[in-house]
Structure 1
Amino acid sequence: MEGCMVRLHSVHFRGAFSAQPIIVNFHELFQTRDAPTILPMVKNEDVLRAVVALFDTSLPEIGPRDVHETVHYPGIHTIILSQDHADVLEDYRGRASQKGTNLSPVPCKTKVEADSTHKLLTELYSDSEESTVETSEEIIATETSISWSWERFCEGLQEFVDGARDRKEKRAVQREDGKIPPSAVGVESLIMAAACYELKILSTGDMVLQLSLLAVRKRYRHLGIGSYIMELLKTQSIVGKYDTLVAHADTDAKGFFKFHRLTDDPLLNDQFKYR
Structure 2
Amino acid sequence: MANRGEILEEKLEDLKLQEKENISTNHHHVDLDHETYTRPGAQLSDKQTFTNKKGQTISGYPVIVDFRRLLQLSIGHSEELQKEHGIIQGISNNDLLHAVIGLYDVSLSEMTPDVLYSTVCEKWGRTIVLVRDIQETIDDLEERRKNEPQEQQEEKEDIEDDDGEKGSVKGSELSADEDVYEEDEEQPSKFAEVYSDTDTEAEEEEEGEDEEEDFSKGINSFISKVSDRRKTRKTSEGPVTKDMIGIENRIIGCATFEKKYVQGRIKSKHRDRVIHLTLVSVRKRCRNFGIGKFLLSQLVEPKVVGNYDAVVVHADNEAVEFFQKFGFSDDIVLNSRWKELAEQFTNCTLMCYLPGFSGHRLLTSIKIPGLEMYELEQEFLKWKEKTLEVYQQQVTCMMRMKQEVMQLKYTTTTQDKFLKALVEENEILKTDKLVAEKELLDYRLSTVKSAFGSEKSDQDESRYMAFSKHEGNGQEEPYDHIKDSAFFYDVTEQFKTEMMLDTQACKKCEVSSISKALVPEKTKKAYRAKVQSLKDPLMVLDLYFCGTLEHPERIKEILKEGFTERDFTCGDYGKGLYFSKYPFKAAQFSKIGNLLKVEVAIGNVETVVKADRTRTVPSQGFDSIITPGRLTHMLGQGDASMNQEYIIFDAHQVLPLCLLSYETS
TM-score by length of 1: 0.78
Match of 1:6 in 2: 42
**8 Å contact kept, 2:179–2:221:** no
Alignment equivalent of 2:168, drawn from 110, 119, 133? 110
- 1:23 aligned partner, one-letter code: I
Q: Deviations along 1:160-191, whole A, 9 cap, x unmatched?
A: 1111111112222331x4x2232221011011
- 1:28-47 matches, within 5 Å, as 28-32=69-73, 36-47=85-96
Match of 2:68 in 1: 27
Q: Deviations along 1:109-144, whole A, 9 cap, x unmatched?
A: 73499898689xxxxxxxxxxxxxxxxxxxxxxxxx
Match of 1:203 in 2: 263
- Secondary structure of 1:274's counterpart equals helix
1:271 matches 2:337: yes
Q: Deviations along 1:187-240, whole A, 9 cap, x unmatched?
A: 110111111001111124111111000011101011100000011111112210
**8 Å contact kept, 1:27–1:148:** no
Cα separation, 1, equivalents of 2:305 and 2:297: 11
Q: Deviations along 1:75-107, whole A, 9 cap, x unmatched?
A: 0000000001111011101111224789x9xx9
C-alpha RMSD of matched pairs (Å): 3.1
Cα separation, 1, equivalents of 2:108 and 2:240: 31
Q: Deviations along 1:60-83, whole A, 9 cap, x unmatched?
A: 101000000000110000000000
Cα separation, 2, equivalents of 1:92 and 1:146: 46
TM superposition shift of 1:148: 7.4
**8 Å contact kept, 2:255–2:280:** yes
Cα separation, 1, equivalents of 2:182 and 2:103: 13
Match of 1:186 in 2: 246
Cα separation, 2, equivalents of 1:266 and 1:17: 38
* Larger relative helix fraction: 2
Match of 2:221 in 1: 159
Cα separation, 2, equivalents of 1:146 and 1:49: 24
- 2:220 aligned partner, one-letter code: Q
- 1:76-87 matches, within 5 Å, as 76-87=125-136
1:243 matches 2:309: yes
With over 3 angstroms needed to count, the CA separation of the structure-2 counterparts of 1:10 and 1:256, relative to structure 1, is same
- Secondary structure of 1:153's counterpart equals coil
**8 Å contact kept, 1:72–1:146:** no
TM superposition shift of 1:147: 8.6
**8 Å contact kept, 2:99–2:247:** yes
Match of 1:68 in 2: 117
With over 3 angstroms needed to count, the CA separation of the structure-2 counterparts of 1:118 and 1:58, relative to structure 1, is farther
Alignment equivalent of 2:232, drawn from 158, 170, 180? 170
- Secondary structure of 1:30's counterpart equals helix
TM superposition shift of 1:108: 11
Cα separation, 1, equivalents of 2:181 and 2:340: 34
- Secondary structure of 2:258's counterpart equals strand
With over 3 angstroms needed to count, the CA separation of the structure-2 counterparts of 1:200 and 1:4, relative to structure 1, is farther
TM superposition shift of 1:30: 2.2
- 2:245 aligned partner, one-letter code: V
TM-score by length of 2: 0.34
**8 Å contact kept, 1:30–1:148:** no
Match of 2:588 in 1: none
- 1:110 aligned partner, one-letter code: S
Cα separation, 1, equivalents of 2:41 and 2:276: 19
**8 Å contact kept, 2:42–2:87:** no
Match of 2:137 in 1: 88
- Secondary structure of 1:90's counterpart equals helix
- Secondary structure of 2:229's counterpart equals helix
With over 3 angstroms needed to count, the CA separation of the structure-2 counterparts of 1:111 and 1:28, relative to structure 1, is closer
With over 3 angstroms needed to count, the CA separation of the structure-2 counterparts of 1:118 and 1:98, relative to structure 1, is farther
Cα separation, 1, equivalents of 2:179 and 2:71: 24
Cα separation, 2, equivalents of 1:153 and 1:250: 26
- 1:208-227 matches, within 5 Å, as 208-227=274-293
- Secondary structure of 1:6's counterpart equals coil
- Secondary structure of 1:62's counterpart equals coil
TM superposition shift of 1:32: 3.3
With over 3 angstroms needed to count, the CA separation of the structure-2 counterparts of 1:87 and 1:198, relative to structure 1, is same
TM superposition shift of 1:38: 1.3
**8 Å contact kept, 1:85–1:185:** yes
Cα separation, 2, equivalents of 1:79 and 1:63: 21
Indicate the percent of aligned positions where both proteins have the same amino acid.
29
**8 Å contact kept, 2:181–2:219:** no
- 2:131 aligned partner, one-letter code: S
- 1:46-61 matches, within 5 Å, as 46-61=95-110
Cα separation, 1, equivalents of 2:240 and 2:87: 25
- Secondary structure of 1:149's counterpart equals coil
Match of 2:605 in 1: none
TM superposition shift of 1:27: 1.4
Cα separation, 2, equivalents of 1:95 and 1:28: 37
- 1:180 aligned partner, one-letter code: V
1:149 matches 2:209: no
With over 3 angstroms needed to count, the CA separation of the structure-2 counterparts of 1:93 and 1:260, relative to structure 1, is same
Cα separation, 2, equivalents of 1:146 and 1:28: 19
Cα separation, 1, equivalents of 2:325 and 2:92: 37
With over 3 angstroms needed to count, the CA separation of the structure-2 counterparts of 1:217 and 1:118, relative to structure 1, is farther
